Amino acid sequence: MKIDILTIFPNMFTNIFTESIISSAQKKGIVEINIHDFRKFSNDPHHKVDFPPFGGGRGMVLTPQPIFDCVLSLKKEDSYVILLTPDGIQYKQKMAYDLSKKKHLILICGHYEGFDERIRTLADLELSIGDYVLTGGEYAAMVVADSIIRLLPGVIKEESHLNDSFNNNLLDYPEYTKPRVYNNMEVPEVLLSGDHKKIAEYRLNESIKRTKERRPDLLDR
Ligand code: 6GU
C-alpha cells in the first residue's frame, strides 16, 4: 500500500512513523508513506495557502489551488482520497478493514478554522476520528494511517488482530501474564487449567461482560 499525506506541517510527522511496528512495515516494503507539504504547490507569490473568508468572519480558510494541484499530481486510477475533518463521518474499526484493502490512499489534513468548501469535491470520503476538536487533521491522519497499516498482511500476526477490541462489536477480554500472584491479585484459575475450550468460553464471557458494562452501545448494533 502507498499512503500520501498532504499537510502544511510536514515536521509533525517526522518521528511518528519511524518507530516500532510502522517503521518495520515500511522497511519490509509493506507500506510506503510519503509526507507532502502542499504549500510547495501554492501559485501565490508568497506561497500562501490560506486567506480570510468571503463574507467576513474570523480566521483563515485554506484555499483550493495548492491542495488541488498536490492531489492531482499524486492521484492515479486506483487512488482513494480521504479528507480529515471534524464534520466527516465518524471513523470506525470496520472502515480500517475496508480501507486496508485499498492500493493507494491520499490523506488531506484540514487546518485552521476551515477550508474552502470546494476542496471537498476532491474527496472520496470525509472522516472525523471522534466528537472533539483537534487543532488540525494531522493527528487524525496519524490515527487513521496507523489503524490501517497494522491490518496489512505481514505487519502483525493475524491472530493478534482477530481478537482486537471492536471486532464483532465486542471489547477485548482481560489478559494476564507472569507472575501468578501480584500484590495479592491472582490470575483467574481457568487460565492456568490448560483446558482450551474452557479458556475460550471464559474469554468470550468476559468480553461480553466487559462490553455490557463499558460499551452497551456496541451490543445494540
Ligand atoms: Cl479529522 N480534524 C480536526 N481538526 N478535529 C477532529 C477531527 C479531524 N476528528 C475529530 N476531531
pLDDT (tens place) for every residue of the chain, 221 residues total: 999 999 999 999 999 999 899 999 999 999 999 999 999 999 999 999 999 999 999 999 999 999 999 999 999 999 999 999 999 999 999 999 999 999 999 999 987 579 999 999 999 999 999 999 999 999 999 999 999 999 999 999 887 787 788 888 999 999 999 999 999 999 999 999 999 999 999 999 999 999 999 999 999 87
Measure 132 CA to ligand 1 centroid, in angstroms: 7
Note the pTM of the prediction, 2 decimals: 0.93
Q: What is the SS3 assignment for 211?
A: helix
Domain spans of the chain, in order of start: 2-158, 163-220
* Ligand 1 binding pocket includes 136 (Cβ within 6 Å): yes
Sheet holding 32-37, edge to edge: 32-37, 2-7, 104-109, 79-90, 125-128
- Catalytic residue list: 86, 113, 150, 164
Q: How far apart are CA 71 and CA 81, in angstroms?
A: 8
CATH topology of domain 2-158: Alpha/beta knot (3.40.1280)
Per-residue pLDDT, 157: 87
Distance CA 204, CA 195 (A): 14
CATH 1.10.1270.20 fits 163-220, yes or no: yes
- The number of residues in the chain equals 221
Q: What are phi and psi of 62, to 5 degrees?
A: -65, 130
Query: Strands 61-62 and 50-51, how do they pair?
Result: antiparallel
